[in-house]
Amino acid sequence: MEGWKDGRMEEWKDGRVEGWKDGRMEGWKDGRDGRVEEWKDGRVEEMEEMEEMERKNINRGYRKLTVWEDAIAYYTTTCEAFAGFSFVLRRVVSQQIASVDSIHRNIAEGYCRRSLNEYLHFLNIALASAGESVSGLHAFQAAKQIADVDFQRLDGAAFKLENGLKRLIESLQQKKLTGKWDDSFVIGETNVEYRTDGELGE
């Protein structure tokens, strides 16, 4: 036995158990099926693959969209940047976060509607929300309420998202006119049309 201390297992390497402290399992790596990665306070903190596989369906396909992933990243960065703002600015900060939050929500709703017309409708709303959020960023910068490094980081993320959404909408509008749209290819077609020219070359 590689690790046993004071009547309890502390560590077991090269086998299944990686760490066991104070009578409970802390980690299990490279074990059977590789599923359990961490166990704290008597509960599993992370399970790889198994639960993810169980929670997949056609209505959640938007999670594979690059545009949705970028919108989530923009929201996460926005929350980080505005988390420490003073109470007096609570209302405008809430509006800023809400406008960014609206982007990924509308992308998801448009996808779930399962028709090109409605998908385009909600993508346009997402683009409008992105524009609203950028206006807010410039207002915060003008009032010297946001650090330049945060402004540049958020404005860069928004710029990428805006350009990608514009390109995606224009492409889908063209497909609508020519009838070259297949709802079953929504993920693949969205990702291809959303990517920047540089990304397409990779």
Rounded to an integer, what distance in angstroms lies between the CA atom of residue 73 and that of residue 91? Answer: 22
C-alpha 79/C-alpha 56 separation (Å) is 27
pLDDT of residue 177: 83
Please give the Cα distance from 23 to 122 (Å, whole number): 52
Task: Show the domains of the chain with their CATH numbers.
Answer: 4-53 (no CATH), 57-200 (1.20.1440.60)
The whole-number pLDDT of residue 15 equals: 52
Per the structure block, which two tokens stand in for 195? 């990517």
Q: Give the model's pLDDT for residue 58.
A: 80
- Model pLDDT, residue 197: 46
Position 140 scores a pLDDT of 95
- Among the listed residues 156, 150, 154, 163, the one whose alpha carbon sits nearest the alpha carbon of residue 194: 163
pLDDT of residue 34: 45
pTM equals 0.66
Tens of pLDDT along the chain (202 residues) come to 455 556 555 555 555 545 555 555 555 455 444 444 454 555 555 545 555 556 878 888 888 889 999 999 999 999 999 998 888 889 999 999 999 999 999 999 998 988 889 999 999 999 999 999 999 999 999 999 999 999 999 999 999 999 999 998 998 888 888 876 666 555 665 676 666 444 433 3
The structure tokens 């009578």 sit at 23
What DSSP line would sit under 3-30, residue for residue?
-EETTEE----SSSEEEEETTEEEEE-S
| CA neighbours closer than 13 Å in the CB half-sphere of residue 156 | 7
- What local confidence, expressed as pLDDT, does residue 179 receive? 77
Do the strands 17-21 and 8-9 form a parallel or antiparallel pair, or are they unpaired?
Answer: unpaired
Helix (H) or strand (E) holding 5: strand 4-5
Residue 17: enclosing H or E segment and its boundaries? strand 17-21
pLDDT of residue 33: 46
Q: Which pLDDT score, from 0 to 100, does residue 186 have?
A: 59
Q: Which residue has the tokens 């070359």?
A: 201
How buried is 112 (Cβ within 10 angstroms: 0-12 exposed, 13-18 middle, 19+ buried)?
middle
